[in-house]
C-alpha cells in the first residue's frame, strides 16, 4: 500500500521534471537568435559602450522613440531592454 503510493509519487516527480526541463528548453529555443543587430560602433552609439546597460537604455528613445528620427519599425519585437538583444561589442561592465 505505502509502496504503491511512493511509486506514484516518483512517477509524478519524473513527469514534473520532464515538463519543467521541456518548457525551459522551449523557452530558450524561442529566444531571439544571436543574429540580432549589434549596437553599431558609430558616433551615435559609441558613448553607450562603456555604460551600464540600464543607464545607456535611458537614451535610446531620444532617437529611436516614437516620432523620432530613427523610429523603430512597427514590427520591432518587445522593446523593454534594448541591450539584452542588441549586444555591445565591448566587454561589459558588471550591472550596477
Ligand atoms: C543620437 C541618436 C541615437 C541614439 C541616442 C541611439 N541611436 Fe541607435 N541609431 C541611430 C541612428 C541614426 C541609426 C541608423 C544609422 C546607423 O546604423 O547608425 C541607429 C541604428 C541603431 C541600430 C542598428 C540597426 C540596424 O539595422 O543595424 C541599433 C541596434 C541601435 N541603433 C540601437 C540603439 C540602442 C540600443 C540605443 C540606446 C543604447 C541607441 N540605438 C541610441 C541613432 C541613435
Ligand atoms: C527582444 C529583443 C529586442 C529588444 C529588447 C530590442 N530589440 Fe531592436 N531589434 C530586434 C530584432 C530581432 C530586430 C530586427 C532586425 C535585426 O535582426 O536586427 C531589431 C531591430 C532594431 C533596429 C533596426 C530598425 C528596426 O526597427 O527594425 C533598431 C534601430 C533597434 N532594433 C533598436 C532597438 C532599441 C532602441 C531598443 C530598446 C528601446 C530595442 N531595439 C530593443 C530585437 C530587439
Check which CATH number belongs to the domain holding 43 and give it.
1.10.1130.20
**pLDDT attached to residue 3:** 66
pLDDT tens-digit map of 29-45 = 887 666 788 899 899 99
Chain segment 44-65, per-residue pLDDT in tens: 999 998 889 999 999 999 999 9
Please report, rounded to a whole number, the percentage of residues in the chain having pLDDT higher than 70.
86
Tell the residue nearest (CA) to atom 30 of ligand 2: 72
Query: For ligand 2, what atom is nearest to the CA of residue 81?
Result: 5
CA distance 41 to 24: 34
Q: How much is the pLDDT for 18?
A: 96
Say if residue 94's pLDDT is above 90.
no
Evaluate if residue 90 carries a pLDDT over 60: no
Q: Are residues 67 and 94 in the same domain?
A: yes
Pair 25, 38 in one domain: no
**Quick one: pLDDT at residue 93?**
59
**Which ligand is in closest contact with the Cα of 50?**
1
- Same domain flag for 57 and 22: no
Q: What is the mean pLDDT of the chain?
A: 87
The sign of the torsion formed by the CA atoms of 77, 83, 84, 88 equals positive
25 and 39, same domain (yes or no): no
Q: Are residues 27 and 38 in the same domain?
A: no
Quick one: 47 and 63 in the same domain? yes
Given a cut of 80, whether residue 15 has pLDDT beyond it is: yes
Return the closest-CA partner of residue 64 out of 37, 27, 33. 37
Which atom of ligand 2 has the smallest separation from the CA of 33? 12
Length of the chain: 96
Domain of residue 2, residue span: 1-31
Amino acid at each position: 500500500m505505502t509502496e504503491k503510493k511512493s511509486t506514484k509519487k516518483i512517477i509524478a516527480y519524473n513527469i514534473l521534471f520532464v515538463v519543467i526541463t521541456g518548457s525551459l528548453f522551449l523557452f530558450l529555443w524561442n529566444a531571439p537568435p544571436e543574429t540580432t543587430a549589434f549596437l553599431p560602433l558609430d558616433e551615435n552609439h559609441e558613448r553607450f559602450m562603456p555604460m551600464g546597460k540600464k543607464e545607456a537604455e535611458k537614451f535610446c528613445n531620444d532617437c529611436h522613440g516614437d516620432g523620432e528620427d530613427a523610429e523603430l519599425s512597427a514590427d520591432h519585437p518587445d522593446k523593454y531592454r534594448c541591450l539584452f538583444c542588441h549586444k555591445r561589442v565591448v566587454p561589459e561592465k558588471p550591472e550596477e
